[in-house]
Amino acid sequence: MCELSRLLRERLKACDARFMPKYALRVREQARRSLAGFFGATDVLVPVPGSAPHAAERLWAAEELTAALINEGLGGAAWSGLRRVHAVHKSATAPPGERPTVDLHYDSFRVEQPEVQPGNIVLIDDVVTKGRTLLAAAWRVQEAFPCAQVRAFALLRTMGRVCGIRQLLDPCQGEIRWRRGDAHRCP
């Protein structure tokens, strides 16, 4: 199961076009069960930028996932107005003392103003670890749209050094909270 989870992550990060629609279909199926009510018909789905400013020729997993989710009828529109203006270390590969803080992520984001102000925003990310990136993105977006409801969705979540993963599909709902100066996922 651990090998399968790593393969899933690799395919997601590679923006494998054969699998992105399958991932979105699986999310739609879960949206009818364990994620019921999470995605609304008028929600604006906003892909969370990667660790470096986006280059037009480079594939971006969260953006590809957002498009696939919209194609499955999850949300009303996609909007790529959250931008990374300067690079930060990738959390997954940075040594523990050099992982970017919530403040560093926040400072690296900018929000472009859309023509129409969104009411419900769902940030879309490929993988969530501690939640620093999502928390910083949510703060930046909430600051730009104070009347909007902001939620976040990540296709995959890391489980730390868990031995013996029993199942690949394990949807959960929770919160990312600011506690003791850092982001913490609950549960």
Q: Write down the pLDDT at residue 105.
A: 97
Q: Write down the pLDDT at residue 156.
A: 92
Q: Which residue has the tokens 């506690």?
A: 179
Q: State how beta strands 120-128 and 149-157 pair.
A: parallel
Q: Write down the pLDDT at residue 56.
A: 62
Closest residue by Cα to residue 157 from 122, 126, 179: 126
Listing DSSP states for 126-143 in one string gives EEESSSHHHHHHHHHHHH
Domain boundaries, the chain: 2-186
Domain 2-186 classified CATH 3.40.50?
yes
- Can you tell me the distance from the alpha carbon of 71 to that of 63, in angstroms, rounded to the nearest whole number? 12
Q: Write down the pLDDT at residue 162.
A: 67
Which stretches of the chain score pLDDT less than 50?
Answer: none
Q: Write down the pLDDT at residue 161.
A: 67
Instruction: Please check whether residue 81 is in contact with residue 109, taking contact to mean a CB–CB distance below 8 angstroms.
Output: no
Give the ranges where 72-131 is alpha helix by DSSP (H): 102-108
Q: Write down the pLDDT at residue 4.
A: 87
Q: Write down the pLDDT at residue 57.
A: 60
Alpha carbon separation from 155 to 68, 87, 146, 169, 184 (Å, rounded): 12, 23, 26, 10, 18
Q: Write down the pLDDT at residue 58.
A: 75
- Tell me phi and psi for residue 17, to 5 degrees: -60, -25
Q: Write down the pLDDT at residue 159.
A: 73
- Tell me phi and psi for residue 121, to 5 degrees: -120, 135
Name the burial class of residue 169, with classes exposed (0-12), middle (13-18) and buried (19+) by CB atoms within 10 angstroms of its CB. Answer: exposed
The string of pLDDT tens digits covering residues 11-48 is 999 998 899 999 999 999 999 998 999 999 999 999 99
- Can you tell me the distance from the alpha carbon of 182 to that of 176, in angstroms, rounded to the nearest whole number? 10
